[in-house]
Every structure is written in structure tokens, then in C-alpha cells.
Structure 1
Amino acid sequence: MSRNPGNREQFRPEGHPTDHFLLTTVVGSYPKPKWLNRATDLAEDGDAKFDGGDLAEAHDDACRVITHEHERAGLDTVVDGEMRREEMVEFFAERIDGYEFNGPVKVWGHNYFDKPSVVDEVAYADPWLVDEFEFTDAVASRPVKVPITGPYTLANWSFNEAYDDSEVLAYDLADLVNEEVEKLVEAGARYVQIDEPALATIPDDHAIVGECLDRIVAGVPEDVRVGLHVCYGDYSRVYPEINDYPIDEFDVELCNGDYEQIDTFADGEFAPDLALGVVDAHVAEVEPVAEIKENVRQGLKVVPPEKLTVSPDCGLKLLPREVAYGKMENLVQAARELEAELDAGEVEVPVAGTAPTADD
């Protein structure tokens, strides 16, 4: 039940040189400048002459730098690299009434996560991202996408000490996300991405995620593009159910798995637009343009070019910054070259639902 996939055309750059248009974007996070990490340390040092105001200025500067870096790479839609965020759950939990933090927990190896607890009924107080969006939108010359951690992940990656049922918690959180999206739309946002990595870890709950999405998009105009990003996992356990989700775009991480699961979606029935990861967020090497073009072609097994978005597999924050930039630059070049080849009739677009050949 796609909302209005045709709303992608609003992101075509003015004067785009080709008839075909492959929307290029990023999932969200991006490597922070080293000086921003240093500024954060200074702000936490009681002996340093560096306070919260100084850190806010550093965040503003970093957001300007990364937004312009995305534009310099040629991306059609940009984000600020989530320069003001540390972790995808903690950032929102700190802004939602009903959450509290009781210290980090060990999740794997020597890695710790400051897992929050829901200790009371969750409630919406102040906007979470509106100021962030308005700042980035003011410094950007291209449309800005807003990534938001989804309610199902916010519920499942927290300790639940207040609700009898985590499903009800997810629905309450979805209502709060809806409030936030409405405020973002009022501020001018036209591209919102809901991040639900937990869906891939507990895929049998796809109906809960569907209900959450119904709540999130309630009242949101159809010209606002809503994407769902899911990484990792066995996608066959959530497809074709995602066809019933009220989204414009489904964003998947398949490059890291050499596209072994692409045929899951190539049945001719895939309903939303496909946002396909075509560079690997886990490999600190810049893929050549020719390789990325072949990766983009994988998406054409599922959807025609006018329904294909091109992005990294996932957030890039763990990569060296020069590698992240190189991936973006080559991703854009690959998309632009393929657009020209599509215009020239040099690219054969497979018919979705047909069996792939050995050459595929």
C-alpha cells in the first residue's frame, strides 16, 4: 500500500541533464570531524574553558561542513550526517518523557550501549528534530532528508519497566513520532526516513511495525516522501508483508551480502520504490564507479529506473571520512553515468518477476 511513490520527482535537480533520474541520497550518519569529538571531550571536562554554548557552536559548524560535503559529492538529497547525535536510540530517549538512563550495558565484545529504560508512560514534550532540520535546511542548497529512529526499535532496544506489553509501548511511541513528523512537515520537511533495524532482528513482528507506520503517517500529506530503512536480517521473512506498509520507499542493505537476497523482491509484485544500498558501509575502501554501476543494476531487477533510489547500505559514521566521501562521490557518478546510458538505450532493464539469467 504505497502512499505516493511519484513524490520522488520533486527531488530531481533543476536542469537535470537526463530524462532518467536515479535519486541519490544517504541513509543518515556520517563520520564526525575529529575536532568535533575533541570539542565534545572539552565540554565534558570541568576544568576546560569550554561550555555548552561552545559545543553548540561546534555542532553548528560540523553540520555546515558535512551538509556542504554531501552537496559537493553531488547528492540529490542531503542530511547533516547526524552531527548532533551519538546513538540512534539514546538521542531520542533523552528527548522523550518516560525514559531514563541507568548506565551502559555490555552488548557484545567490549562494546557498551547506554540502553535506556521506560519507567513511565511515554509522552511528547518539546520537538526532537525541528531545530536540527531548520538549521540544515537553511544552510543546504538541496533538499534535506530527516532520519528518525522508529518506534518499534525505540521500544525493543530499551528496558520496558512501565508497560505490560511492548507492543502497546511501540504504538504509543508511534503516536509521538507522528507528532514529530507533523512538526517537521510544518517546518518544511518533505523527505522523512523511519529507521527500524529491530524489524530485521524480530521479523515476526512485521504487523506491529505496519500498525506503527499507519500511526506515523496519519495526517501526513502525500507529497511528503516517507521511507523505511531496514538493515541486516532475512528479508524473506518481512516480504511481501512490506507491500502493505504505508511507505513510499523501502531502503535495504544488500551490498554487504553481495545481493544474495535481491531475488526476494524480484517477483514483479514489489510495491514501494526501492532504495538500494550500492556501497558497503562496513568496508573501508572506495568502490570503483564501474562496480557501483553493476550494483545499481541489481535494483533494476526489482523496480524500473523511475522507482529506484541509490544510497549506501547504511550509515557511514564508522568509516574514515575520506573513504565515506569517496563512496558518495563515486555513487553519484555511477548514477549519473547510468542515467545517460538509460537515455541512450544502452541499458537493458529486466522485467521484474522473470527468472534471472546466469549473467545476472
Structure 2
Amino acid sequence: MVVEKTQEKDTGPVNSSTALTTTAVGSFGRPDYLTKARSAFARGDIDRAELEKLEKQATEYWIRVQEKIGLDVLVHGEMERGDMVAYFSGEKGGLPIKGMKLGGLVRSYGNRYYHKPIIYDRLEWPGPMTVDMWKYAQSLTDRPVKGMLTGAYTMVEWSFDEHYPTRRDAVMDMALVIRREVEALVAAGAKYIQIDEPAIHTRPEADFEAAVESMRVTVEGIDAEFHTHICYGEVEEIWTPMQKLPVKQIHLAFKNTDFEYLDLVRE
């Protein structure tokens, strides 16, 4: 569910006939043919060009679905990403952030595992990581497509840090990296950027202010509308400080909690 915040600078919804801008969280289910293709690529049975062709095919499918149901601001679906953090560390063709590399498999939950990245040196922007896929998705539709990034706090929280003396130091350098990617997306024409922070409620008493500051470093002064996605966790504990996040929309996972957080929104 989307919670749209009131701000002094209100760009308004894309579709003026709706009270709120309608959009999606970001990632969609990967079709079977793409799941099989990713496995084939990992085995060396197909090359990068063939995999990218199928990723784009799946991306176009989801663009058409969103157009059909009438969303105002679309997402590309993240067909090229296996994990929202590992992708930015070189997973299956992603351009790794300098100072990061893929680590071994770590259990996320249930039977889901991911290659937990390792921060081994100072973090630096390697060049555009998401711009080409955003350009492709935007070329398929007249409706705006969001740029999709993982936030600095989540990037650090879901990685092993073997370089920085403090978590805050790592988060702030990561924020500068993500900011460079935001600037690249905006330069390419993106007007909406979503920065996912699902780990923001992990240590609310110790780290929340650093998480808010890192978001500010990432977006401040950039001419775009910013959204963030916060899933799972105890939203009640961070509801009030969450309002400090410098974003227009906050996306919350209400379905997993049987919509019990609706009372917070009504307030």
C-alpha cells in the first residue's frame, strides 16, 4: 500500500482524475522462461546477450500489464535482478559498486538464500548501474517509469562490512554512491525515483537517524519525485520518525499484516 505524504512542493498525481498517484512497489514475478534462462546462464549454457533479450521480453510484458490496469507511474519489474543488494555487487552481470564484491550464500528466510556482499574497500560509484534498463523500459511507454534503487542503509545492513570503522561511516559513503546513480537516472530523464529501505527498522533506536540522514544525502537538491519502500518489520515503532524521510511516497507492506497498520495511516 502507498502512503502519500503532504509536502510544500507537491507535484501532484500524474493522472489528475485520481486523488493519489497509483504505482507499484517495484519488483514483479519472474516468468518461468526467464528463471530457467538465469540458471542456464549461470551454467554457461547461454550467453549474456541471450539472457538480456529474455529480461527485456519479460520487462515489456510487465509494462503492458501496468498500462492495462491503469497505473500512473510504472516500474520496470527488476527482471535483471536476482537480489536487491547482490545485484549492485556484481550478481549475474550487475556492475558492482567499487569496494564491494559478492560473498558466499547466506540464508535470508525459509529456503531463500542470497550471496551476501562484502564491503572490502572504500565505496565508490562505478558508473551507471541501472540507467540502460530504465531507458529501455521508458522507451516502451508514454507513462513515466520509476528509477529503482536500493537505499544506502539497506545496502550496508545486508552486507558484511570489512572496511569501515563504524556502520554510520559505511552508510554515508554508500549514500554518496547511490546519489551518483540517482543523478545519472535524472540526467537520463527519470522524474520518479524509488529508493528501497526494507532494513530501515532493523535497529531503530541506534541507527534510524543515520538512515534518515543517508536518505537526505541521497536525494537532497535533486529535481525528481522520490518514493521509498519499507516492507515487513514493526512499523509502529518507526511510524513517527519515518515521517522525517525526505520522500513523497512511502510504500508499506500492509497485506502481510492483514492491514492492521491502516489505523496508523488514518491518524
Task: Return the match for 1:41 from 34, 39, 54.
Answer: 39
Task: Return the match for 2:28 from 9, 30, 39.
Answer: 30
Query: What are the ranges of 5 or more consecutive residues in structure 2 without an aligned counterpart?
Result: 91-95
Aligned to 2:67: 71
Query: Secondary structure, in 3 states, of the residue corresponding to 1:148?
Result: strand
Aligned to 1:55: 51
Q: What residue identity is the alignment partner of 2:159?
A: S
- The number of residues matched between the two structures is 257
Aligned to 2:222: 220
Residues 258 and 43 of structure 1: CA distance in aligned 2, closer, same or farther (over 3 Å): closer
Residues 227 and 4 of structure 1: CA distance in aligned 2, closer, same or farther (over 3 Å): farther
The CA deviation string for residues 253-310 of structure 1, in whole angstroms up to 9 with x for no partner, is: 223222322333443xxxxxxxxxxxxxxxxxxxxxxxxxxxxxxxxxxxxxxxxxxx
Is residue 240 from structure 1 mapped to residue 240 from structure 2 by the alignment?
Answer: yes
Using the size of structure 2 for normalisation, the TM-score is 0.89
Query: Secondary structure, in 3 states, of the residue corresponding to 2:104?
Result: coil
Contact residue 80 and residue 136 of structure 1 kept, 8 A? yes
Matches of 1:166 and 1:220 in 2, distance apart? Answer: 25
Contact residue 2 and residue 243 of structure 1 kept, 8 A? no
**Percent identity over paired residues:** 32
Residues 110 and 253 of structure 1: CA distance in aligned 2, closer, same or farther (over 3 Å): closer
Higher relative contact order (CA 8 A, sep 6+): 1
Give every structure 1 segment of 4 or more consecutive aligned residues whose post-TM-superposition deviation is greater than 4 Å. 1-5
Matches of 2:193 and 2:62 in 1, distance apart? Answer: 19
Contact residue 200 and residue 231 of structure 1 kept, 8 A? no
Is residue 179 from structure 1 mapped to residue 180 from structure 2 by the alignment?
Answer: yes
Query: Secondary structure, in 3 states, of the residue corresponding to 1:210?
Result: helix
Aligned to 2:203: 202
Q: What residue identity is the alignment partner of 1:93?
A: S
Look at both structures and tell me which one has the larger radius of gyration over its CA atoms.
1
Matches of 2:208 and 2:76 in 1, distance apart? Answer: 30
Query: Secondary structure, in 3 states, of the residue corresponding to 1:251?
Result: strand
Aligned to 2:93: none
Aligned to 1:253: 253
Aligned to 1:80: 76
Aligned to 2:10: 6
Q: What residue identity is the alignment partner of 2:100?
A: Y
Contact residue 8 and residue 225 of structure 1 kept, 8 A? no
Matches of 2:42 and 2:61 in 1, distance apart? Answer: 23
